[in-house]
């Protein structure tokens, strides 16, 4: 699969292999400043891959709590600028009122950002509880992990980006989003699922990164009951996952995986066939 040119560029490099230096080129992922605004009010600037920006806008807004549902965002405009890309969003009347109050509350010294006890409380806000009776057989989960390998065109070209995917037993991988940032990839996936109207409670999120607390918080916003990652989780991520009712599967490889929370959702043996 060919990657659109805005997502990657070829950079000149000198390779030293086996004691021999040789000139050449390598594909490297593009990274761009993405500025989010709501109803013309600036909110945040993120460094991200310049692709799937409408998905990114929706997923970021849901993760931040600026929007509660996809319909809270009435319009999205992507505006290329000299030093990056502006993503302009317009909220409905109810959400812009809440956003304006929040913006006044956060106003402070320009070098401060989110600081102080109130900001720490916001950063560690209780996760949304994911209530789902979804279950998955261990062999199917291993197959899901394996199916992701061929669906990362940007990483296949650059070996430098993360992916987040959503998998369902009856459909396989429904959506995949890639980005230089693992959080961005998951925000893009969340936005894609919201725009598709997909039921995140009936499947698993697959990550090509470690499981940090932010990734668990974002998964809870998406409503996914199972998070699977190729790397390990942090202790805090596991504590938050327990609170959120999320199954964390990590260190996922071709030969298996490890389940850290809510193992009751994983069926380790198929039930015996009844004639």
Strands 136-137 vs 162-168: parallel, antiparallel or unpaired: unpaired
Neighbours of 1 (CB within 10 A): 9
Backbone angles phi, psi at 15, to 5 degrees: -95, 135
d(CA 130, CA 199): 12
d(CA 136, CA 262): 12
Give SS3 for 249: strand
Catalytic (active-site) positions = 112
Instruction: Give the sign of the dihedral formed by CA 44, CA 46, CA 52, CA 56.
Output: negative
For the chain, the distance separating the N- and C-terminal CA atoms, rounded to the nearest angstrom, is: 45
Strands 84-91 vs 73-81: parallel, antiparallel or unpaired: antiparallel
């Amino acid at each position: 699969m060919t990657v659109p040119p805005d997502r990657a560029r070829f950079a000149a490099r000198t390779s030293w292999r086996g004691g021999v230096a040789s000139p050449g080129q390598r594909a490297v992922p593009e990274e761009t400043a993405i500025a989010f605004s709501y109803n013309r009010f600036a909110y945040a600037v993120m460094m991200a891959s310049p692709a799937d920006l409408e998905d990114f806008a929706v997923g970021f807004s849901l993760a931040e709590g600026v929007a509660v549902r996809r319909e809270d965002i009435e319009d999205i405009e992507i505006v290329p600028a000299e030093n990056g890309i502006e993503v302009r969003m317009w909220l409905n009347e109810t959400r812009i009122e809440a956003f304006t109050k929040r913006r006044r509350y956060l106003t402070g010294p320009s070098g401060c950002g989110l600081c102080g006890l109130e900001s720490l409380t916001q950063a560690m806000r209780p996760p949304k509880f994911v209530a789902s009776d979804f279950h998955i057989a261990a062999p199917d989960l291993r197959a899901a992990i394996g199916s992701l390998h061929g669906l990362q065109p940007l990483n296949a070209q650059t070996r430098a980006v993360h992916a987040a995917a959503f998998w369902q037993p009856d459909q396989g991988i429904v959506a995949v989003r890639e980005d230089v940032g693992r959080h961005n990839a998951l925000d893009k996936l969340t936005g894609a699922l919201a725009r598709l109207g997909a039921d995140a409670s009936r499947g698993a999120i697959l990550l090509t990164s470690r499981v940090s607390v932010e990734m668990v918080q974002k998964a809870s916003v998406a409503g996914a009951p199972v998070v699977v990652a190729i790397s390990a989780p942090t202790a805090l991520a596991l504590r938050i996952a327990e609170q959120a009712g999320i199954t964390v599967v990590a260190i996922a490889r071709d030969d298996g995986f490890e389940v850290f929370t809510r193992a009751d959702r994983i069926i380790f043996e198929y039930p015996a066939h009844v004639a």
